[in-house]
């Protein structure tokens, strides 16, 4: 098993190219199930979750190729024959549930193992299942599998999500794309990743109204498969936010390339509150950090609010602020597992339910710490950059699920970080 060894660095300097967004790539790969043609995808990140989903599609009979050209991944689902997503793959990644909607819409039946993934709290899929039932599907849970059937095809209807769900919105949008009639989703997720999915489907012959709003209307093709042209995955806003925090916490000027600042409004706003300034172009962001990091209050919310996937990184940054910061997590009930590891490094953090109080200005000391989920692992890396001595971040298979070449990108801007074997 690999781990990262990090030594304190005085400053970083240079450029970091942002990879394609993992959270956009996953539904877009699942979307290829709706295509009658071979689909070329540019800018897929090289991370474990992407490889897992491509393997899942391959097991179902699809042909997936990213070896001949690492810059372009080709996915051909015309040969897809199986409709059962087995536990051995689904257990490693909750996003595997994204194949449920498109497979059911295309074949009229589907079996998907109940999902696994990061242990950051309950992420129930009942909203997905309830919506599919409204569309005419019959759903049973049998021996740990979701067994869904719709022999007469899915029917358009009006779906109101009780709470905003990103994967739920993506799943139902894909299911509705091949459904018979018009489907309206109220309280839909507005994340850029959902927007890109809708935009590509819209260009592929599925009329979708309200893209980017909380009410989506999808005009189904009544089972007609789509002709999906080559597309490029949007930049990863969470990866970008993480490297902006690296600049802020080390008080270093960094330039991010291949990035979309419009997707980072809440993150940039909070970093400005903490004293950073930015130079922004069409596809770059340069952070000009302050010598004094100001305390901040952060409340995680659905997009366009502050992303829960940036909470851990800001908590690490807040340990170096000149004052007390309040970090409130409203989306997941078990997403403060990184706090105990940061405390081991000397951070002064107290937890009260879903609120963390961070007393800043503490000197952190390098030690052995353990990553508990994807974003927690990046927070520990940030802390290691400014901790005295040596930090060893273990269980970085969490990190590899969502960050493309993190240690190499940080090495290129001067970080003392090395991947080693246990």
Q: State the catalytic residues.
A: 118
Distance CA 194, CA 328 (A): 25
> Is the CB of residue 292 less than 8 Å from the CB of residue 261?
no
Encoding tokens for residue 296?
Answer: 């901040």
Task: Show the tokens assigned to 256.
Answer: 């991010």
Please choose, from the candidates 84, 141, 145, the residue with its C-alpha nearest in 3D space to the C-alpha of residue 109: 84
Tell whether omega for the bond before 196 is within 30 degrees of 0, i.e. cis.
Answer: no
One DSSP character per residue, 262-291 reads: GGGHHHHHHHHHTT-EEEE-SSEEEEE--S
Q: Cβ-count burial of 191 within 10 angstroms (0-12 exposed, 13-18 middle, 19+ buried)?
A: buried
Whether 251 contacts 317, CB under 8 Å = no
Sheet holding 348-352, edge to edge: 297-299, 324-328, 355-359, 348-352
Closest CA to 277 of 291, 288, 293, 261: 288
Query: Which residues share a beta bridge with 148?
Result: 110, 139
Q: In the sheet where 254-257 sits, what is the strand order?
A: 14-17, 254-257, 284-288, 277-280
CA angle 195, 52, 228 (to 5 degrees): 40
Q: What is the DSSP string of 383-415?
A: HHHHSBSEEEEE-THHHHTT-SSHHHHHHHTT-
For residue 255, the surrounding DSSP H or E stretch is: strand 254-257
Say whether 350 sits in a helix, a strand or coil.
Answer: strand
Secondary structure (3-state) at 363: coil
Question: What is the C-alpha separation between 36 and 33, in angstroms, rounded?
Answer: 8
User: 357, 324 in Cβ contact below 8 A?
Assistant: yes
């Amino acid at each position: 098993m690999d781990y990262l060894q990090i030594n304190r660095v005085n400053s970083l300097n240079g450029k970091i190219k942002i990879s394609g967004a993992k959270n956009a790539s996953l539904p877009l790969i699942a979307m290829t199930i709706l295509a009658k043609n071979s689909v070329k995808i540019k800018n897929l990140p090289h991370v474990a979750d992407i490889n897992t989903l491509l393997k899942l599609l391959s097991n179902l009979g699809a042909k997936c190729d990213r070896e001949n050209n690492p810059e372009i991944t080709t996915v051909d689902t015309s040969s897809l024959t199986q409709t059962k997503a087995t536990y051995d793959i689904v257990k490693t990644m909750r996003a595997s549930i994204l194949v449920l909607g498109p497979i059911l819409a295309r074949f009229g039946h589907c079996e998907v193992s109940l999902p696994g993934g990061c242990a950051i709290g309950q992420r129930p899929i009942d909203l997905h299942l309830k919506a599919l039932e409204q569309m005419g599907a019959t759903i049973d849970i049998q021996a740990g599998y979701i067994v869904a059937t719709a022999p007469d095809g899915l029917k358009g209807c009006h779906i109101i999500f009780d709470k905003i769900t990103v994967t739920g919105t993506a799943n139902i949008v894909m299911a509705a794309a091949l459904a018979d009639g018009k489907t309206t989703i109220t309280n839909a997720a507005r994340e850029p990743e959902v927007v890109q999915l809708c935009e590509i489907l819209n260009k592929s012959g599925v009329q979708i109204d309200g893209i980017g709003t909380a009410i989506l209307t999808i005009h189904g093709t009544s089972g007609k498969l789509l002709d999906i042209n080559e597309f490029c995955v949007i930049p990863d806003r969470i990866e970008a936010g993480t490297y902006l925090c690296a600049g802020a916490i080390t008080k270093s000027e960094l330039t991010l390339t291949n990035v979309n600042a419009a997707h980072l409004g809440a993150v940039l706003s909070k970093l400005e509150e903490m004293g950073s300034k930015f130079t922004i172009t069409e596809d770059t962001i340069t952070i000009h950090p302050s010598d004094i990091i100001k305390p901040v209050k952060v409340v995680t919310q659905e997009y366009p609010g502050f992303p829960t996937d940036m909470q851990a990184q800001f908590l690490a940054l807040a340990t170096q602020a000149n004052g007390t910061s309040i970090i409130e997590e409203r989306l997941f009930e078990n997403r403060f597992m990184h706090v105990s590891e940061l405390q081991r490094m000397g951070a002064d953090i107290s937890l009260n339910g879903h609120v963390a109080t961070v007393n800043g200005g503490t000197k952190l000391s390098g030690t052995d710490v353990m990553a508990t989920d994807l974003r927690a692992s990046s927070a520990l890396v940030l802390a290691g950059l400014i901790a005295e001595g040596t930090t060893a971040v273990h269980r970085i298979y969490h990190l590899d699920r969502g960050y493309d070449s993190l240690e190499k990108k940080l090495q290129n801007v001067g970080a003392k970080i090395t991947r080693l074997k246990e």
